[in-house]
Structure 1
Amino acid sequence: MKELAAPPDANRVADAVEVLRAWIINQGLQVSLAPGSFGGGENEIIVWSILLTDITRHIADALHKSEGLDPKETINKIQAHFNLELDEPTAEAKGDFIV
């Protein structure tokens, strides 16, 4: 198992909460997530959307630092493929919700 390290502040801040984990297992995506982390309802949807855009920016920054890729171009490509994947998924989301 190749687990990433938690961000340094996660160990220093008492109210830090993990909300998302993603794994590639048997060439497929498996996730653990914590719905309801942001108060539920419309606010929940808005904050998860912000979280996904922040993740996109972090990916663009990491690819810029590690491979020299242009961050704006990377974000544009991710956004285009994100929309394509939403419209025509390469795989359906499946699994159980465990509380």
Structure 2
Amino acid sequence: MRDRELTIAEAEQAAEQVGETWVEKLEFGLSAPAVGDMGTVADPTLELAQSMRANAGSGAFRSEPREFVLKMIADLPPDARDFADKDEAELEQFLDDVLAGKR
């Protein structure tokens, strides 16, 4: 959030310097680099993301997030628990989505 606010402040400052100009809207079109685009860049964050995507289907990798989600569901009020726990298939789909960064 702070980076966004700084970018907006920089844009407003640049508009003031030009004069008779205002910033009506800024659009941020950001996306993570594709896994194959890493090339020779040594970015530990991208390497971790690549490793997590590669292992997201393994039972050993999924067991900890699964336990966390089940504990979180148990801590919620009963009427708020059905977002991922109606049945086993929905829980697995929820985990797939979370691990893929879709939720």
**TM-score tier after normalising by the smaller chain length:** under 0.3
TM-score with structure 2 setting the length: 0.27
Greater relative contact order, per chain length (Cα 8 Å cut-off, separation 6+): 2
Q: Which structure has the highest helix share of the two?
A: 2
TM-score, scaled to structure 1:
0.28
Greater strand content: 1
Pair member with larger Rg: 2
